[in-house]
Amino acid sequence: GAVVSQHPSWVICKSGTSVKIECRSLDFQATTMFWYRQFPKQSLMLMATSNEGSKATYEQGVEKDKFLINHASLTLSTLTVTSAHPEDSSFYICSAELGQGWNGYTFGSGTRLTVV
């Protein structure tokens, strides 16, 4: 089946540094990918929609300069948390829409970011 591989699974970084999270579609082409954020015991909040070859569309309240999204190919989207602070600590999950011949969306395994 269609798989989205997300790396790293977890990362600890110091305040002020940047962290890059990668999502790769392994056996299909993902024109559109989505990035979510999830706080403990809460639901998933959509941060942005990433389209291959164009600028990402950010949800209201999400700082685009803080969360840089790049979708340079049909199989790779990246989220970079710039100048991370402890309040950016969260669980980040990517998702891709399954295109023709499939149904729904598939999700990466998530990245747990801790900023110290």
Q: Report the relative pairing of strands 57-58 and 4-7 from DSSP bridges.
A: unpaired
We find the least distance from the C-beta atom of residue 16 to another protein, in angstroms, to be: 26
| Residue type at 36 in one-letter notation | Y
Q: Which range touches another protein (CB under 8 A), out of 13-21, 23-31, 70-78, 89-97?
A: 89-97
* Per-residue burial over 23-60, b = 16 or more CB atoms within 10 Å of its CB, e = otherwise: bbbeebebebbbbbbeeeeeeeeebbbbebeeebebee
81 binds another protein (CB under 8 A): no
5 binds another protein (CB under 8 A): no
Angle at 51 between CA 50 and CA 54, to 5 degrees: 110
74 binds another protein (CB under 8 A): no
In the set 27, 100, 104, 116, which binds another protein (CB under 8 A)? 104
**DSSP annotation of 26:** S
Q: Based on CB atoms, which residue is closest to another protein, 43 or 100?
A: 43
We find the least distance from the C-beta atom of residue 52 to another protein, in angstroms, to be: 16
Binding site for another protein (CB under 8 A): 34, 38, 42-46, 49, 91, 93, 95, 103-107, 109-110, 112
